[in-house]
Chain A
Amino acid sequence: MSAGTPTARASRVRRFGSWYVAEHRFRVMRSYAQTITVTGIGNPLIYLYALGVGLATLVDQNLGPDAVNGVGYLQFVAPALLGMAAITVASEEFTYPIMLGFKWNPTFYGMNAAPISPAQIINGVVISVAARMFATCGLYYVFMLLFGAVVRPAGVLMIPVALLVGLGFGALLMAYTATLTEDTGQLAMLMRFVILPMTLFSGTFFPLSQLPIFLQWIGWLSPLWHGVELSRVLSYGAVEPLWLSVVHVAYPACLLAVGWWLAVRFAKRRLNK
């Protein structure tokens, strides 16, 4: 069959449908490109300056320049800031846009009435968010270099780690949001009581070991903690057993797989009325 026939067209959509959905997301992101750019540049500047320079001066004065983990506070906190940036993108892109597509402005139904499948809708969202997350984290990393927050060249691998963490957590968020038929404040609660505590208690601003033992499980469950610990190994050679580094990769990867799979399932169920 020639390329123009309907059957050939449909098979092209079977193959590339996810990209077409991602294209749509990019076009929508363009409408808030200013916000994306301003926060993409502003956040690393503000956080690196406030914590990495301001707070670091205080910490290093009190504890010495190799205060935490044998490095300065700036080098200690920078990997956490990068991970948090990925989590922030995830919590923006995997919540309200999903609610929008299924409910408030049900564009997902429109895509599905065209040849796009529910799985491709989910894949397309993941692709587009991964791209935005990559841009955000890449830029963040450049600022980290400028601030002198990265010790080793291997630190550049913090970017894929941040992506893994952001997408792993985000996939679960997306799966959860896909089950919501009404937003009666669940998403705001999630921001306040899950995402905010997670960013504070994941060994981000202080080592997890400073928490009482009965609170340390927060870190173990938090994909952010796993990502940040691994990033510290990469950035300045923090010491940990190899098996733990393996867990730091495997755990968020599992969350990503499970979240993605669940999101596809829920999307299929929801679109097939």
Chain B
Amino acid sequence: MPEPVITAVNLVKKYKDFAAVDNVSFEIAPGESFGFLGPNGAGKSTVMRMVGAVSTRTSGALSVLGLDPDEYGPEIRSRLGVVPQADNLDTELRVRENLLVYGRYFGLPRRQIASRADELLEFAQLTERAKAKVDDLSGGMKRRLTIARALINEPRILLLDEPTTGLDPQARHILWDRLFRLKEQGTTLVLTTHYMDEAEQLCDRLVVVDKGRIMAEGTPASLIASYSSREVLEMRFGSGHNADAGERLVGFGDRIEVLPDRVLVYSSDGEAELSRIPSTGLTPITSLVRRSSLEDVFLRLTGRSLVE
């Protein structure tokens, strides 16, 4: 295994007495796409700020590109690309100017920045909008511009904090496509998300985080294999009837989860379970058999859904 580019051991970040990040350890290999999947408030952004060498850790060890962020903040940051959760593009400047100015923060020569800016506008499909005002861009375009800006210094590692939150499905797919290209070019992607489909699409490996702790770690497929069955039977019995139905279904599948709006039966063969339902006298209003997803992994680990 090649030397990891990021290593965290028992990483802790406390705000007063509250541990936003609570003893977190992980290693990220060069070229890998590594994800933090967890709900709001799990501590994802806090981890990203520590890895991005802008937030000092309370305790634990952290190494980014072989350097300690406490001592080598500027050295680390000069080799990272950062896409923060909330866009902080400069709205007083035009689209291309945002790239020009940002390149200077890395001490790059103007000529080099100018040609790189044009390449990146092309990559972000924003060449036609080069002179536009930032505020006139759509959400997806702003996000792509932020990614382009993060790439101005040709970073080996790109940190993406919830890259597609708040975007419509089409804008998300365009963005994912751009990120795939970066991945193919060998850029290490470190991303946070609370969308299980995003994690499944983009991550080679991920950790499931909740309340500042890592609940599980693995590839999307291995997590599903270890924490869920192959298939899930989802049934809705109408509001108020799900809990009752859940009790009468005990013994079905490997495991049953009762949610306020539906009952989930975990099984290697969902159709077979469904065919046995009439024998209980229950009639679901709707029923659906699907493959297990990371959402089910999260539910299993925490008893809650990812997106409330």
Can you list, as one digit per residue, whether each of A98-127 has a CB less than 8 Å from chain B (1) or not (0)? 001000011101111111110000000000
CA distance A27 to B78 in the complex (A): 22
Cβ-neighbour of A115 out of B49, B91, B107 (below 8 A): B107
Cβ-neighbour of A23 out of B49, B88, B101 (below 8 A): B101
A28–B92 contact, CB under 8 A? yes
Can you list, as one digit per residue, whether each of B102-133 has a CB less than 8 Å from chain A (1) or not (0)? 10111110000000000000000000000000
The interface residues of chain B lying within 8 Å CB-to-CB of A9 are 78, 106-108, 153
Using A12-B107, A116-B105, A273-B55 as known contacts, say yes or no to A110 and B77 having CB atoms under 8 A apart. Answer: no
Does B30 sit at the interface, judged by CB under 8 A? no
A113–B101 contact, CB under 8 A? no
Using A9-B107, A13-B105, A20-B107 as known contacts, say yes or no to A110 and B88 having CB atoms under 8 A apart. Answer: yes
Does A272 sit at the interface, judged by CB under 8 A? yes
The interface residues of chain B lying within 8 Å CB-to-CB of A112 are 54
The interface residues of chain A lying within 8 Å CB-to-CB of B261 are none
B88–A109 contact, CB under 8 A? yes
B74–A117 contact, CB under 8 A? yes
Q: How far is the CB of B13 from chain A (nearest CB, A)?
A: 9
The interface residues of chain A lying within 8 Å CB-to-CB of B72 are 10
CA distance A110 to B134 in the complex (A): 15
Does A17 sit at the interface, judged by CB under 8 A? yes
CA distance A84 to B292 in the complex (A): 70
B54–A271 contact, CB under 8 A? yes
Does A152 sit at the interface, judged by CB under 8 A? no
Does B52 sit at the interface, judged by CB under 8 A? yes
Cβ-neighbour of A17 out of B55, B82, B97, B105 (below 8 A): B105
Q: How far is the CB of B154 from chain A (nearest CB, A)?
A: 10
CA distance A228 to B43 in the complex (A): 54
Most buried by A among B91, B107, B149: B107
Total number of A-B contacts with CB less than 8 angstroms? 94
Does A24 sit at the interface, judged by CB under 8 A? yes
The interface residues of chain A lying within 8 Å CB-to-CB of B49 are 273
Question: Would you list which residues of chain B between 147 and 174 have a CB under 8 Å from chain A?
Answer: 149, 153
Does A192 sit at the interface, judged by CB under 8 A? no
CA distance A27 to B56 in the complex (A): 31
Does A6 sit at the interface, judged by CB under 8 A? yes
Does A31 sit at the interface, judged by CB under 8 A? yes
The interface residues of chain B lying within 8 Å CB-to-CB of A13 are 74, 78, 105-107
Q: How far is the CB of A31 from chain B (nearest CB, A)?
A: 6
Cβ-neighbour of B105 out of A100, A105, A111 (below 8 A): A111
Does A7 sit at the interface, judged by CB under 8 A? yes
CA distance A110 to B105 in the complex (A): 10
Most buried by A among B55, B78, B79, B108: B78
The interface residues of chain A lying within 8 Å CB-to-CB of B52 are 113
Does A217 sit at the interface, judged by CB under 8 A? no
A117–B73 contact, CB under 8 A? yes
The interface residues of chain A lying within 8 Å CB-to-CB of B231 are none
Can you list, as one digit per residue, whether each of A1-26 has a CB less than 8 Å from chain B (1) or not (0)? 00000110110111011001101100
Residue of B nearest to A31 (CB): B92
A114–B92 contact, CB under 8 A? no
CA distance A113 to B149 in the complex (A): 11
B90–A20 contact, CB under 8 A? no
Residue of A nearest to B149 (CB): A110
- List 15 A-B pairs, Cβ < 8 Å: A13-B107, A14-B74, A17-B74, A31-B93, A105-B92, A106-B86, A109-B54, A109-B88, A111-B105, A113-B82, A113-B84, A114-B77, A115-B77, A271-B54, A272-B56
A residues whose Cβ falls under 8 Å from a Cβ of B: 6-7, 9-10, 12-14, 16-17, 20-21, 23-24, 27-28, 31, 100, 105-107, 109-117, 271-273
